[in-house]
Structure 1
Amino acid sequence: MAGRPSDMEILEAVEAYAGRRGIAARLTDPGAPDVTWQTLLDFRIVRSIETRGERPMREPGGQDGLASRPTYTDIATHPVAPPSDPEKTEAWLLVRRGSLDEERCANCDRGTTKCGDCEGRGVRDCPRFVDCPVCEGGPDACWECEGTGRRRAGRPARLRSGAPSARRATCARCRASNAACPKCTGRRQLDCPDCKKKGHVQCGVCDGTKRVTHQECGGTGRFTVWTEGWIHQNPHREKERRLGRLDLRRTTGSVGRWQETILRRATDKLPDDLDEADENLIAPHLAPRKDEVARLATLRRLPLAHVTVHADPHRDYFAFPSHAGIEVTTRPTTQRVRYFAGIAMASVALVALVAVLVVALLR
């Protein structure tokens, strides 16, 4: 890989770094440890995939905006430019040449139909009388005749507790005084306030016109018909990432001098110095896809060297090219991390056991 330091340059950088940490190590002497290389990869590709089709359209009324749409003859071959940025979504709506027309609505008369609520009468049936809201049309309509007009023979009008005679009226049916409901005066019913005793009211849907707007055609009495073609260009993304140890990613990502390769065409080649294993990993993602009209592939690489310093056996040393030269960093070995993790887990278990024993002793 171009830009990768030599093994000797790596060992010199690691030796100097270890010396600054107080670790005496002669890594450049004969028999020095081997340098193990790994290439960190971050590969991403976004393609613009184009889909096309057409469909019959039928919309109520006139469609003046259709005149400004582009027209086509064959949607499969109609030319549109590929996107300059494959990340963008593009869409076109077109009209097939010669398909634009108008047709009369067959289910209405110039945009209106007979009102369904009143069946074209302009009025709705309404009861001529309603129950009195005070006595509710019951026996309290009159305490003497109970609203029937027939007095109870030989018995005076009965008074209800809590209802003084001053609140009652003379019954319009049996003529008993201080016995009838003051609202309906014993009749039980009142003239309907809606229809004024006519027995019908104006239809509230058609406002008495007997006809309503035809919803299907929007009251226009016609439809615009055409064949609509559509073309969509949408981004599709893939990626392959091999970024190494999680605890190193921030350092390598912010400091490392990554080598970047941009591929914009299906014929563009991967770098010649790419490892065979890495090429086999990435190459399948570069194969052309059906209906692909544009692409942007970005390959970023960073060589990462691992060096074991025998004078410091519990730490791993890593080196990689940076903008300032060779960056060296160190991390605890995996075995060391597991060792301390085991101690921590054992400590937690011991604390839990002691807590259980204390609780048992206090009972």
Structure 2
Amino acid sequence: MASAVPSEDEILRAVERHVSQRGVPVDLRAPGAAKVSWQSLFEFHVHRSIERRHERQAREKGSPADIATRPTYTDLAAYPVAPPADPAKTYRTRLVREGTVDEEPCDGCVGGRTTCGTCKGRGGMPCPADVECEGCHGGVDACWECDGTGTPRTRRARAGSRPRGPDAPERVTCRRCKRRDVACPTCRGRTMTTCPDCDGTASTPCEECKGSTRTVHVPCGGAGRFTVWTEGVVAHLPDPDEVRLTGPQFAWLKTDALGAWMRAELTGVTDALPDFLEDAHRELIAGHLPARKNEVRRRMTFAYLPLARVEVRGRPDSVYYAFPAVTGIEVARRPSRERVTALVWAAAAVAALVVVVSLTVLR
């Protein structure tokens, strides 16, 4: 390990101080007093940028304003494009092949407009010329003499159906039976009134074309033509990979906040690896280091935290973990595997005893 990694003696001194805080001084540097094993945490991330080049037939509405300013090429494979600044992001450079820009007319419209699909070119939508009268609702009260039919009845037959209260509206002459003071003032005995939407024309303007019978042709955007060309695309696509030895079993250590991680960042395939890496870590990442096909840029990040596991003789119930922190060596105590197993068996025994007692009582 590198010199920045705490020595075994430093680890044992830190664990001694931690244990002594409980009022029990110990000497862990005596032969056989403690066993130290390393379970270091390690993270390796590599972001590569892979270049892909391809051509396609492009087609856009009208005349794109920027088509004349786009970069042009004759040989897509030879066109120089700088590697991306950030290999973790996607970048695309769009080019125009020289001599391929052309225009073609839209075959689905005339001058960028087409027959309105809503009104079918009529310019309006059917509408009833007359609607039911809101005053009499088209019923017998349209006229007290003819019920809106135009054929009067005898006054005796209709005398009992004339509501003449103080708030009753004045009646008017019926247009159908010509009787005075018997018809609804709104429709004058017709039972219907002129439709307010179409003013009796039986047609309302189409909301889609506003009565013009034609609308903008959506596929060509009203331009009546398309611009076509051969487009070359140079894409830089991220290709991430990682190796992590920071399993969830160490989440309780809060090493992200406390640990003094050793970190490094490299950008070259042949750059020397950080000195702090253990041999095992170098073996783990060996297969991730060679350049991949069409790789144009990379960023490798390394994070390493030495973590020591210390078992103390005479304390089989506890295991101590020590790692370098900003303020020194941090030590955390956890129950040993034997202790956890014993607690599980004890809990099982208690549960079994409860069942036995319950069954005995129920008898």
TM-score by length of 1: 0.76
Tell me the CA shift for residue 60 of structure 1: 2.1
Percent of pairs identical after alignment? 46
2:270 corresponds to which of 267, 270, 279: 267
Tell me the CA shift for residue 153 of structure 1: 5.7
2:236 corresponds to which of 209, 221, 233: 233
Tell me the CA shift for residue 183 of structure 1: 2.0
Change beyond 3 A, Cα 1:82–1:176 = same
2:191 corresponds to which of 173, 188, 199: 188
Write the letter of the residue equivalent to 1:104. Answer: P
Q: Distance in 2 between matches of 1:11 and 1:118?
A: 89
Q: Distance in 2 between matches of 1:10 and 1:103?
A: 78
Write the letter of the residue equivalent to 2:174. Answer: C
| Cα pair 2:12 2:28 within 8 Å, conserved | yes
Aligned to 1:285: 288
Q: Distance in 1 between matches of 2:211 and 2:311?
A: 96
Structure 2 residue 301 is the aligned partner of structure 1 residue 307: no
- 1:294-334: per-residue Cα shift (whole Å, max 9, x none)? 22222233333333332444332344455676555544433
Tell me the CA shift for residue 34 of structure 1: 4.1
Change beyond 3 A, Cα 1:66–1:342 = farther
Number of matched pairs: 356
Q: Secondary structure at the match of 2:182?
A: coil
Aligned to 2:81: 80
Q: Distance in 2 between matches of 1:172 and 1:112?
A: 48
2:179 corresponds to which of 172, 176, 181: 176
Tell me the CA shift for residue 64 of structure 1: 1.2
Aligned to 1:94: 95
Aligned to 2:2: 2
Tell me the CA shift for residue 263 of structure 1: 3.6
Q: Distance in 2 between matches of 1:195 and 1:240?
A: 74
Q: Distance in 2 between matches of 1:258 and 1:202?
A: 74
Change beyond 3 A, Cα 1:221–1:308 = closer
Residues 316-355 of structure 1 aligned to structure 2 (within 5 Å): 316-321=319-324, 329-337=332-340, 339=342
Q: Distance in 1 between matches of 2:121 and 2:16?
A: 100
Aligned to 1:68: 69
Q: Distance in 2 between matches of 1:122 and 1:222?
A: 25
Q: Distance in 1 between matches of 2:194 and 2:325?
A: 97
Write the letter of the residue equivalent to 1:112. Answer: R
Q: Distance in 2 between matches of 1:101 and 1:41?
A: 57
1:242 corresponds to which of 222, 242, 245: 245
Change beyond 3 A, Cα 1:76–1:145 = same
2:301 corresponds to which of 262, 280, 298: 298
Tell me the CA shift for residue 195 of structure 1: 5.0
Write the letter of the residue equivalent to 1:185. Answer: R
Q: Distance in 1 between matches of 2:27 and 2:202?
A: 114
| Cα pair 2:144 2:183 within 8 Å, conserved | yes
Tell me the CA shift for residue 141 of structure 1: 2.1
- 1:200-238: per-residue Cα shift (whole Å, max 9, x none)? 565555444444333332222222222333333343433
Tell me the CA shift for residue 152 of structure 1: 3.1
Q: Secondary structure at the match of 1:99?
A: coil
Q: Distance in 2 between matches of 1:207 and 1:47?
A: 56
Q: Secondary structure at the match of 2:67?
A: helix
Aligned to 1:160: 161
Q: Secondary structure at the match of 2:181?
A: coil
- 1:62-115: per-residue Cα shift (whole Å, max 9, x none)? 211222222233445533211233234433232232222222223333233344
TM-score by length of 2: 0.76
Change beyond 3 A, Cα 1:179–1:86 = same
Write the letter of the residue equivalent to 2:186. Answer: K
- 1:182-202: per-residue Cα shift (whole Å, max 9, x none)? 222223334444555555565
Q: Secondary structure at the match of 2:49?
A: strand
Q: Which moved more, 1:323-332 or 1:74-83?
A: 323-332
